[in-house]
């Protein structure tokens, strides 16, 4: 990777990445290896919730129910009680069940492994057609799951640090920040490079 012959902002992004890689010793190991549907549920639980709390809620779901079909078909109040560790469980329980039903209706099964065969923009658009799924969640599903696709999730921490580093104008909202930050990353970067960038920025 080189920062020469690149626009100034991209040069800045690449230089920051290189310096952080020296500290964090890239490549960085993926923090887990969930199938894409499980990653989607995990990401939905994580909205406006601390990682420790959403992680407890996800583990509780996996312990309480044998599979995602059982979560989909369970009484919503039971799912809500199971995920009580996360914020707004009363909203997330019906939303997760709605998403699972839609996936079953659209795909004929509770699997979104087919996203591996779509170009990343199409895969993200498909995910973002689901209720409650925005650019952060679609990128997280593609990047963090076993799909290991080239997509940059931008959460509130990444957004805040990117502004401090001068990679975003201070008034940029989190949603638009995805396209702006991803455009700064060299085209030839792999999914691992993009994952490393996200992990180092939020550390």
Q: What percent of the chain has pLDDT over 70?
A: 97
- Domains identified in the chain and CATH numbers: 8-30+151-202 (1.10.1670.10), 36-144 (1.10.340.30)
Asked whether the bond before 27 is cis by omega within 30 degrees of 0, the reply is yes
Q: In this predicted model, what pLDDT tens digit does every residue of 38-53 receive, in sequence order?
A: 999 999 999 888 889 9
Q: In this predicted model, what pLDDT tens digit does every residue of 176-192 receive, in sequence order?
A: 999 999 999 999 999 99
pTM: 0.92
What's the confidence (pLDDT) of residue 78? Answer: 98
pLDDT lower than 70: segments of the chain: 1-6
Q: What angle do CA 47, 51, 195 make, to 5 degrees?
A: 85
What's the confidence (pLDDT) of residue 6? Answer: 52
What's the confidence (pLDDT) of residue 3? Answer: 40
What's the confidence (pLDDT) of residue 111? Answer: 97
What's the confidence (pLDDT) of residue 62? Answer: 97
Mean pLDDT, all residues of the chain: 94
Closest CA to 68 of 94, 90, 101, 19: 101
Give me the residue label for tokens 């230089």: 15
What's the confidence (pLDDT) of residue 203? Answer: 83
């Amino acid at each position: 990777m080189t920062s020469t012959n690149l626009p100034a902002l991209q040069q800045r992004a690449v230089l920051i990445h290189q310096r952080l890689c020296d500290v964090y010793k890239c490549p960085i190991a993926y923090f887990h290896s969930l199938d894409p549907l499980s990653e989607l549920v995990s990401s939905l639980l994580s909205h406006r919730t601390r990682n420790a709390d959403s992680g407890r809620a996800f583990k509780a779901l996996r312990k309480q129910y044998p599979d995602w079909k059982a979560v989909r078909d369970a009484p919503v109040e039971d799912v809500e009680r199971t995920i009580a560790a996360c914020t707004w469980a009363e909203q997330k329980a019906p939303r997760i069940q709605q998403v699972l039903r839609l996936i079953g209706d659209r795909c004929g099964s509770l699997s979104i492994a087919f996203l591996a065969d779509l170009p990343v923009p199409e895969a993200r658009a498909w995910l973002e057609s689901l209720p409650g799924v925005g650019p952060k969640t679609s990128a997280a599903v593609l990047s963090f799951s076993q799909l290991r696709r080239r997509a940059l999730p931008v959460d509130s921490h990444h957004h805040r640090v990117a502004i401090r580093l001068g990679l975003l104008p201070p008034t940029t909202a989190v949603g638009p920040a995805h396209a702006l930050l991803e455009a700064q990353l060299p085209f030839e970067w792999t999914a691992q490079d993009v994952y490393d960038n996200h992990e180092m920025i939020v550390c």
